[in-house]
Amino acid sequence: MRLFLAAEPDTLALGAALARGLRPGMVIFLCGDLGAGKTTLARGVLRALGLTERVKSPTFSLVELYTISSLYLYHFDFYRFKHSDEWADAGFRDYFNPESVCLVEWPEKAGGQLPVPDVKIEMKVDGNGRSVTISAETEAGRNCLTRLQDRSSLAPG
Ligand SMILES: Nc1ncnc2c1ncn2[C@@H]1O[C@H](COP(=O)(O)OP(=O)(O)O)[C@@H](O)[C@H]1O
Ligand SMILES: [Mg+2]
């Protein structure tokens, strides 16, 4: 599934659409260079789930936990990892469990150690906007995308 997001509100809207498809246990990879819009997308998810406080980028903390809408949602950013072992050393393995939703920025920095994602979202600067490719890699991911596609206001790209 490909989309073009012309401006920041479109990225937030995609996050809101994605939020409706999330279920406990899901892992979402957010890929793309610095400035591609990964944190903005995560912010859209969190706001749609009812978070009113400011969404911090976990670039320095590595992870932020939110408990909202009866979900445990972990928002990771592995940008600062220099070695993929740091992920295991940090003790993050237990965070990927059937009760929690994990949104992961820079999953490639954890090497091949992360679980297979249910949904992978690749974002790229495209003119003044962003182009996005969304793929489902599991059954849960395919169900999530089906729920997401029910939202017709997202412009194809
Ligand atoms: N669809 C979009 N079109 C234009 N700018 C966007 C879009 N989505 C997000 N942005 C902007 O891109 C910048 C970087 O976003 P951010 O989410 O911090 O990126 P990342 O987490 O991938 O480094 C922010 O200023 C944000 O407002
Ligand atoms: Mg970010």
Q: Which ligand is nearest to the CA of 131?
A: 1
pLDDT score of 132: 98
In angstroms, how far is CA 138 from the centroid of its own chain?
15
Instruction: Please tell me the pTM assigned to this model.
Output: 0.94
Q: Which residues line ligand 1 (CB under 6 A)?
A: 5, 7-8, 10-11, 32, 34-40, 105, 128-130
pLDDT in tens, 44-73: 999 999 998 888 888 877 899 999 888 999
pLDDT score of 84: 80
End-to-end Cα separation, the chain, in angstroms: 9
pLDDT score of 83: 84
pLDDT score of 154: 66
> How much distance in Å is there from the Cα of 20 to the middle of ligand 1?
21
pLDDT in tens, 72-125: 999 999 999 888 888 888 888 899 999 999 999 999 998 888 999 999 999 999
Q: Which atom of ligand 1 is nearest to the CA of 41?
A: 17
Q: Which ligand is nearest to the CA of 32?
A: 1
For residue 138 the two structure tokens come to 């599991």
pLDDT score of 87: 82
Tell the residue nearest (CA) to atom 13 of ligand 1: 35
pLDDT score of 56: 84
Residue spans of the domains in the chain: they are: 2-149
Task: Give Cα separations from 89 to 3, 9, 48, 83 (angstroms).
Answer: 36, 37, 32, 10
CB contact burial 3-40 (16+ within 10 A = b; e otherwise): bebeeeebbbbbbbbbbebbeeebbbbbbbeeebbbbb
pLDDT greater than 80 at residue 130: yes
pLDDT greater than 70 at residue 6: yes
CATH topology of domain 2-149: Rossmann fold (3.40.50)
Residue type, 35: G
